[in-house]
Amino acid sequence: MSHKKPNAATLAVHAGGALPPMRSQPLDPPIYRNTTYRVESRQAVLDYNAGHPADLFFYGRYENPTVRALEQKLALLENAEAGLCFGSGMAAVSTTVFALLAGASGAGVDLARPLLCSSAIYGGAYRLFRDQLRALGLPVVFLPPEQIVEGAWPVHPCAVYVESPINPTLRLLDLRKVAARAHEVSALAVVDGTFAPPPLQHPLALGIDLVIHSGTKYLGGHSDLLAGAVLGSRELLARVEQWRKLLGGVLDPGAASELARSLKTLPVRLERQCQTAFELARRLERDRRVKAVLYPGLESHPDHALARRDLRAFGGMVTVELPGGLPAAARLYDGVRLFARAASLGSVESLISLPVDSSHVGYDDAELARAGVSPGMARLSVGLEDVEDLWEDLDQALPG
């Protein structure tokens, strides 16, 4: 290269712009928006290829310092060795399931060892497993959650996939039993814990191998970002990471920074959401316009004892069933003024949805019955508003 001063086009691309030397640290990691990294020499590339030294970053789809900082924070919150973040909850689910089905040995899918999956899981995951994975010839077997916990398993699975608490019934699975039974047949146990994020529930401490979260829900908490996360051991996550690199579902660094900010208020938000949800559940249970209230904190909930054992608080979701079936649920839905009629959950704003129209749309009657969903159900995601304002809203909208 000549020593003459580069011209403007070259300077514009290359000159300056490096981080200045700093004796102080920013409180939070900056957003590293770059997709690629300047290495010192070929040796660095060879080092990278030989085994990814932790301080060597190479390409944005593979690793990013902002995303990694978030993963460490999430791992601390979930008491996990490691974490991986994704662009959505479904990216976390699909990438993890591909890695599990592919097996540890690299020998490929063992058709005799399917994914054993609870039939009561998030509708998107259910459809992915039932339709897309099977269309690829990948082995998936569904069983009702009670049978996964207590009943006979007709297959020898490579992994067991459950959700707890379950949407929208808020039933809980005994995760200790799920993990123990999976391990007895040398399968891995995976739970989608989106409905009870840390510090409400710690599935890894109950023996579960991998916990998945839709970060779009409570972790993000403000209805303004999509994200997903998987937490577990370093060894298992190294397998999932191989798939994330190639499927390409890594979280965007801007969203990672926003999610890290949201996590700062997660325990405080949850505390308030759980308190308000419990109070609304108690009032709804006493109300003669309501047929049933599903909330794990109520003694009437079938899994109340398990909730007391495994949950630190009972969550921010409340499902009500109205005696007038779908027409009554629809009147509640259309009648609320403060609850937003909106999909999703876990946000600072209170939201209402009708499971038969949203999370369980397209299920036939048998599938609805298996999922414990009735047409008269309305699901409330309780936000941070004042409890009296929320109660007033429900009170004026409840039909009957």
Ligand X SMILES: Cc1ncc(COP(=O)(O)O)c(C=O)c1O
What amino acid positions are annotated as catalytic residues? Answer: 61, 122, 192, 217
Which of 166/332 has CB closer to ligand X? 166
Question: What span, in angstroms and rounded, lies between the C-alpha atoms of 171 and 175?
Answer: 12
Determine, following the binding rule CB under 6 A, whether residue 88 of this chain makes contact with ligand X: yes
Count residues near ligand X (CB under 6 A): 13
Instruction: Indicate the residue whose CB is closest to ligand X.
Output: 89
Which of 44/368 has CB closer to ligand X? 368
Question: What span, in angstroms and rounded, lies between the C-alpha atoms of 222 and 38?
Answer: 35
Q: Considering only residues 194, 223, 347, 381, which one is a binding residue for ligand X as defined by CB under 6 A?
A: 194
Determine, following the binding rule CB under 6 A, whether residue 347 of this chain makes contact with ligand X: no
Which of 216/257 has CB closer to ligand X? 216
Binders of ligand X among 105-134, rule CB under 6 A? 122, 124
Determine, following the binding rule CB under 6 A, whether residue 393 of this chain makes contact with ligand X: no
- Which tokens go with 375? 């047409």
Determine, following the binding rule CB under 6 A, whether residue 163 of this chain makes contact with ligand X: yes
Question: What span, in angstroms and rounded, lies between the C-alpha atoms of 303 and 295?
Answer: 9
Q: Which stretch binds ligand X (CB under 6 A): 34-42, 86-94, 248-256, 324-332?
A: 86-94
Task: Tell me how far, at minimum, the Cβ of 211 lies from ligand X, in Å.
Answer: 11
Q: Considering only residues 64, 95, 167, 353, which one is a binding residue for ligand X as defined by CB under 6 A?
A: 167
Determine, following the binding rule CB under 6 A, whether residue 315 of this chain makes contact with ligand X: no
Question: What span, in angstroms and rounded, lies between the C-alpha atoms of 288 and 77?
Answer: 40
Q: Which stretch binds ligand X (CB under 6 A): 40-48, 87-95, 147-155, 318-326?
A: 87-95
Q: Which stretch binds ligand X (CB under 6 A): 83-91, 265-273, 312-320, 363-371?
A: 83-91
Determine, following the binding rule CB under 6 A, whether residue 228 of this chain makes contact with ligand X: yes
Question: What span, in angstroms and rounded, lies between the C-alpha atoms of 397 and 400?
Answer: 9
Determine, following the binding rule CB under 6 A, whether residue 226 of this chain makes contact with ligand X: yes
Q: What angle do CA 119, 120, 122 make, to 5 degrees?
A: 110
Binders of ligand X among 203-222, rule CB under 6 A? 214, 216
Task: Tell me how far, at minimum, the Cβ of 163 lies from ligand X, in Å.
Answer: 6
Which of 117/290 has CB closer to ligand X? 117
Q: Which stretch binds ligand X (CB under 6 A): 23-31, 62-70, 85-93, 98-106?
A: 85-93
Amino acid at 276: T
Q: Summarize as ranges the residues that interact with ligand X (CB under 6 A).
A: 88-90, 122, 124, 163, 167, 192, 194, 214, 216, 226, 228
